[in-house]
Amino acid sequence: MNRRELLKRSAALGLTAAGSFSIPGAAAATLDAARESTTLNPLTPPANASIPVAFLISEGAVVIDFCGPWEVFERVYLPDRKLDAFSLYTVAETAAPITAGGGLKITPNYTIANAPAPKVIVIPAQSPASEATKAWIRNATKNTDVTMSVCTGAFVLASTGLLSGKSATTHHGAYVDLAMQYPDIHVQRGARFVESGNLASAGGLTSGMDLAFRVVERYFGRDVASQTASLLEYQGQGWLNPNSNSEFAGPIKQTANHPLCAVCGMEIDRSLPSTYKGKTYYFCVKEHKQIFDASPEQFAAK
């Protein structure tokens, strides 16, 4: 599923009825809050068992969002332990195969009715969650060490109500959507990942790997996380610095020859124009055009 499709899915959940445009927390999020994420805040692994990690998937699940963290957890090597550090499995609402991004077919290991209790949950970008799936996330999270979203998987986690009043991030193309749909969430722009209690959210796509390395570090220390990154030939340092998405902390610059969406600042679809006070504006998805048309004065000054 590409970015535009993801935004369409999120918009379908009710963005056109979001009301006035405001992003409480998005502008107010500070670097100091993000820096707090870098404290060790250790987690205690079980002495004689693997850590169960549930990857929640549904139609359209973005492959790198869950396969990236999957590889990170799979590759953790602890020579003094007989069992794998992590036990990984997929979970879906039903046992029917799902079609992930690019047509990848996956048969879930478990359903929400019979999945083992996880200590870590990974929620990639995917289709909106059903009420049954949201109830499973809420119930399972009561006993998780970390429930983490990746990219616009933040919308699934937010839909459970668990992020209410907390800080979170998502793909930079969805900051505005997340803030409008969930105004009680403090959206942190430019964060590679954000941690809030046993909840965590990563930015777009590869950011999920950085958050996974961070989880490894919290369980087993920085040396183990670094060794895992080296084994994967992963050169990124984002897991050491949650502020490393600072490129996206402010609006993306546009030019007259390269206009961006008047609502979210992302690449446009030129078949979606609107005119306001003699100036033409463009949008990435029709839902953003509808939001603009309802209140153009809130966006035209950008």
Can you give the pTM of this predicted structure? 0.85
pLDDT of residue 4: 53
Rounded distance between C-alpha atoms, residue 30 and residue 187, angstroms: 11
Higher pLDDT: 291 or 26? It is: 291
Nearest of 55, 61, 56 to residue 127 by alpha carbon: 61
Rounded distance between C-alpha atoms, residue 205 and residue 99, angstroms: 18
Please state which of the ranges 1-10, 30-39, 174-183, 244-253 shows the lowest mean pLDDT: 30-39
pLDDT of residue 24: 41
Is 195:37 a contact under the CB 8 Å cutoff?
Answer: yes
- Which sequence spans correspond to the domains of the chain? 3-248, 251-302
Architecture per CATH, 3-248 = 3-Layer(aba) Sandwich (3.40)
* Residue 30 CB burial class (10 angstroms; 0-12, 13-18, ≥19): exposed
pLDDT of residue 8 exceeding 80, the answer is: no
Over the stretch 104-160, which tens digit does the pLDDT of each residue have?
A: 999 999 999 999 999 999 999 999 999 999 999 999 999 999 999 999 999 999 999
Cα 270–chain centre separation: 28
Number of H helices, E strands in the chain: 9, 13
pLDDT of residue 44: 96
* Residue environment code for 105-133, b if the CB has 16+ CB neighbours within 10 A, otherwise e: ebebbeebeebeebbbbbbbbbbbbeeeb
Over the stretch 190-222, which tens digit does the pLDDT of each residue have?
A: 999 999 999 999 999 999 999 999 999 999 999
Confidence of residue 5 (pLDDT cuts 50, 70, 90): low
Rounded distance between C-alpha atoms, residue 55 and residue 207, angstroms: 16
